[in-house]
Structure 1
Amino acid sequence: TLPFDVYNIVKSLKKQLNTPLGIHCHDDSGLGVANSLMAVDAGARQVQGVFLGFGERCGNANLASIISNLQLKMGYDCLPEEYMKNLTGTAIKIAEISNYNMSGREPFVGKSAFAHKGGMHIDAVLKAPESFEHIKPELVGNERRILMSEVAGRSTIVNLMQEINPNLTKKSEETTRVMNRIKDLEHQGYQFEGAESSVRLLIRKELNKYKPFFTIEDYKIIGSQPKTENTGASAMVKVNVDGASEINAAEGDGPVNALDKALRKALEVFYPKLKEVRLVDFKVRVIDKGATASKVRVLIESTDGKEIWTNVGVSTDIIEASLIALVDSLEFKLLRDMEETLKTYKLL
């Protein structure tokens, strides 16, 4: 059923009945949300939907999109303002509980819903956000992302650097230093588009505004026996936090999974909140195809149930590249938690 048909049907029923009307739409024609909104506009006062559009066939109408449109664009009071800010976190948590790889392109709550790249584009976004963003991302608990790319240039870097020091500009010596470091890493095979959390850590290191939360003293990987059906692996990791060492081991479905588990188990002794972190995606790209010692680029996507972030690592060894990305991922989580604590106590 098309939206204008839904509107006419509900409008007609509204005239004939005194009973409050509700609407339950599916997305078979890609119109579940649109039909739900038109039904409300025609007089329906109950809307049924499901977060992330889960449901039979093509799914139910996406409740996050319905709520956001009704409240922020159509003037209906659906949720208190402070609850609206939990929409993105709620969507991420539901995806995590249901073991669903949530698309970054989810309207309102997706990782890419407010992502921008391109030099002139980014300049315009920073000067007049409303020219490119249909709402303020923070209204639904999301955030603007300025993506790294070849055309993004200094505007992207300066925007991220100003989170640390608002006085920095495109012409600052620090900006040139960070740009040169990024170019060096790109020549080594790094690609930072979509991996802003790695860039944020890099910037802090270049500005001498960062102290690592931990160091890895040693690690070992033990693979499965050849010619067996067992594809599992074991990993041992030894970490050091402020002079205190901790060693831990874990088994996993492959070496990277085992390494991730062992590293987090060792660090959870010092940082219990790392129990919230879960690896949700792992991508490997061979950079120098055909070479025996080919470099590989590893992208790791992680979540703590509140937000999703991506980190990158590059090496000729896939395990080492994975470890670089894993370390960055956990360092970024710890940095975020520290910043939240400082903001809570108004120290940042």
Structure 2
Amino acid sequence: MKDDPVSQVPALYDTTLRDGTQREGVNLTVDDKLKIARRMDELGVHFIEGGWPGANPKDTEFFRLAADGQLKLEHATLAAFGATRHARNVVEDDPTLKALLHADTSVLCIVGKACAWHAEEALGVTREDNLTMVAESIAYLVAQGRRVFFDAEHFFDGYTRDAGYARAVARVAAESGAECVVLCDTNGGAMPWDVERVVRRLVADLPCDVGLHFHDDGGCAVANSLVGVEAGARHVQATANGLGERCGNANLFTVLADLQLKRGLPLVPTDRLLRMTHVAHAVAELTNQTPPTAQPYVGSGAFAHKAGLHASAVAKSADLYQHVDPALVGNETRLVVSDLAGRATIQLKARELGLTLDEAQVAAVLTEVKRREHQGWSYDAADASFALLLRRIVGDLQEPFELEHFRVTVGGGRGDAAGPTAEAMVAVRVAGERRLGAGEGNGPVDALDHAFRNAANGTWAALDRVHLSDYKVRIIEQSGGRSSAGAHGTDAVTRVLVTTTDGEETWDTVGVHGNIVEASWLALADAYVYAILRG
């Protein structure tokens, strides 16, 4: 007899980099995927699914870089995703299975049909052939020394149509060596009362762990994940901020906090849970999505209280109108002066920089961060800029240069598409000496970069090793002192996120201004200062 299900801590499997990228409007670069993986590892999740090797060049390159040591995970195990062999292939010659093995990960997750209707209509195979494809694919990968999870696609719909066949698919997967059979609600319409009953049946049926994968088309993805765990599932797949196709997937942050804070299951270390809000906002920035506002636990409004009865009560005791202490997930009560979560984050960052801040300095940092947030700044995905801000406020930074002015000209000339599209001139002071530099580039940011480097003229060797690797722009509406993405009115400002690397480390800086070029310069300047300080 299996152990009491509620005593088992389920594994948290992040599928943001694969299923999350199916969200309309999300288009990640390989560098974006690496950054998001590092953020999710920072949170302490157990598995990170990197993508589908062989399905597209970006995912193949992601796994190549990971294998080359450019993705060092401290907590999570990297997994590669694929499918069962093609109906006409043998496992040894199947391109999908070959690509999975070539990804060089210890964990593989393969998807197969758990619904007879889908097997017959979508794949054009018989029920028996589908079972054989599942069995042979899993057995082959296990024989190659891999841990295999099996995503039973359309399981809940298949169970409704033909419970016996759905159970047979799950059983053959387990008997072929799958470490976990993941029950997938691919169309997102399952209801909690059905989920609990079905999961309990499968937990009793199978000799392996049962996992969960829910979409949110019926608005129940998180609820289904919770009742599935209560019914004995030991593996939960979800995505950061609920990203995913159509209405999205189960929100990993909500599922994690609910299970850990409400059910008492220690999925991640407490100090990792403290970083959840920061990670959620950083992933939003990296996926170029509006940072969560009303999202449970991590939203900027999750613990916000407007004037009136609630605000008055919260001022006396925050617990009167809050279901948990927001500091536990790194968030804050917006009307409470004593911002424990913000203070904890600042103290943690200061210690990482070797700084010791007194209460007055922490308060000064909090005040400045709040002021800047109202102007549209966000440091969630710009750790380097936040580190420099800390040093500036506490007086621990001697600026290596001072901008006098710059000028950028875009377009003009012959209009040669192959040539430079912008020219820039930069005037800076270095140790009291005025330096001028001019440069051409593919756009104003590239031109500014060249102009500044010409002005620096070899003063800092560190700059010779660095280059810009990414550039993101977001329009931020100023609304009632708060900022929100997506506006284009006269009260909008531009937030620019710049990524810089020296080949060993990558850092992100941010700039905000009403003018996109000014915002770009602010982000570039921080990138240069950070590089110079690193030496």
TM-score (norm 2): 0.39
Distance in 1, Cα, partners of 2:319 & 2:498: 28
Q: CA deviation at 1:38?
A: 1.2
Q: CA deviation at 1:116?
A: 3.5
For residues 47-106 of structure 1, give each alpha carbon's deviation from its aligned partner in whole angstroms, at most 9, with x where no partner exists. 12233434444333222322222112211121122333344454456556xx52133226
Please list, as runs of the form range in 1=range in 2, the aligned pairs for 1:276-287 lying within 5 A after superposition.
279-283=472-476
Q: Please point out which of 89, 101, 105 is paired with 2:288.
A: 101
In structure 2, what is the equivalent of residue 82 of structure 1? 271
Q: CA deviation at 1:252?
A: 4.8
Distance in 1, Cα, partners of 2:221 & 2:323: 20
Question: Aligned pair in 2 of structure 1 residues 116, 312: CA closer, same or farther (>3 Å)?
Answer: farther
In structure 2, what is the equivalent of residue 171 of structure 1? none
- Do the aligned partners of 2:200 and 2:232 also contact (CA within 8 Å) in 1? yes
Question: Aligned pair in 2 of structure 1 residues 100, 208: CA closer, same or farther (>3 Å)?
Answer: closer
In structure 1, what is the equivalent of residue 410 of structure 2? 223
In structure 2, what is the equivalent of residue 251 of structure 1? 441
In structure 2, what is the equivalent of residue 345 of structure 1? none
Question: Aligned pair in 2 of structure 1 residues 122, 19: CA closer, same or farther (>3 Å)?
Answer: same
Q: CA deviation at 1:279?
A: 4.1
Q: Is residue 38 of structure 1 aligned with residue 231 of structure 2?
A: no
- Do the aligned partners of 2:376 and 2:493 also contact (CA within 8 Å) in 1? no
Q: Is residue 237 of structure 1 aligned with residue 432 of structure 2?
A: no
Distance in 1, Cα, partners of 2:508 & 2:319: 23
2:495 counterpart letter in structure 1: I
* Percent identity over paired residues: 27
Secondary structure of 1:217's aligned partner: strand
Distance in 2, Cα, partners of 1:225 & 1:301: 25
In structure 2, what is the equivalent of residue 58 of structure 1? 247
Q: CA deviation at 1:234?
A: 3.5
For residues 210-260 of structure 1, give each alpha carbon's deviation from its aligned partner in whole angstroms, at most 9, with x where no partner exists. 98845311211111128959694343333335546584746354x4x4577
- Do the aligned partners of 2:281 and 2:291 also contact (CA within 8 Å) in 1? no
For residues 248-283 of structure 1, give each alpha carbon's deviation from its aligned partner in whole angstroms, at most 9, with x where no partner exists. 746354x4x457756987899599899799544134
Bigger mean CA deviation after superposition, 31-40 or 10-19: 10-19
In structure 1, what is the equivalent of residue 495 of structure 2? 300
Structure 1 unaligned spans of 5+: 168-174, 183-189, 286-293, 338-348
- Do the aligned partners of 1:89 and 1:307 also contact (CA within 8 Å) in 2? no
- Do the aligned partners of 2:497 and 2:509 also contact (CA within 8 Å) in 1? yes
Distance in 1, Cα, partners of 2:525 & 2:202: 57
Secondary structure of 1:21's aligned partner: strand
1:73 counterpart letter in structure 2: K
Structure 2 unaligned spans of 5+: 1-189, 344-358, 380-385, 479-488, 500-505, 531-535
Q: CA deviation at 1:35?
A: 0.9
Q: How many residues align?
A: 283
Q: CA deviation at 1:124?
A: 5.7
1:300 counterpart letter in structure 2: R
Distance in 2, Cα, partners of 1:132 & 1:250: 56
Bigger mean CA deviation after superposition, 122-131 or 258-267: 258-267
Q: RMSD of aligned C-alpha atoms?
A: 5.5
Secondary structure of 2:254's aligned partner: helix
Distance in 2, Cα, partners of 1:219 & 1:39: 59
Q: Please point out which of 144, 151, 167 is paired with 2:332.
A: 144
Question: Aligned pair in 2 of structure 1 residues 258, 310: CA closer, same or farther (>3 Å)?
Answer: closer
Secondary structure of 1:216's aligned partner: strand
- Do the aligned partners of 1:123 and 1:155 also contact (CA within 8 Å) in 2? no
Secondary structure of 1:281's aligned partner: strand
Report the structure number with the largest CA radius of gyration: 2
Please list, as runs of the form range in 1=range in 2, the aligned pairs for 1:156-167 lying within 5 A after superposition.
164=361
Q: CA deviation at 1:11?
A: 2.9
Please list, as runs of the form range in 1=range in 2, the aligned pairs for 1:1-348 lying within 5 A after superposition.
1-15=190-204, 19-91=208-280, 94=283, 100-105=287-292, 107=295, 110=298, 112-114=300-302, 116=304, 118=306, 128-140=317-329, 142-144=330-332, 146=334, 164=361, 192=374, 194-195=376-377, 213=399, 215-225=402-412, 232-240=421-429, 243=432, 247=437, 249=439, 251-253=441-443, 255=444, 257-258=445-446, 279-283=472-476, 297-300=492-495, 302=497, 311-313=512-514, 318=515, 323=518, 325=519
TM-score (norm 1): 0.56
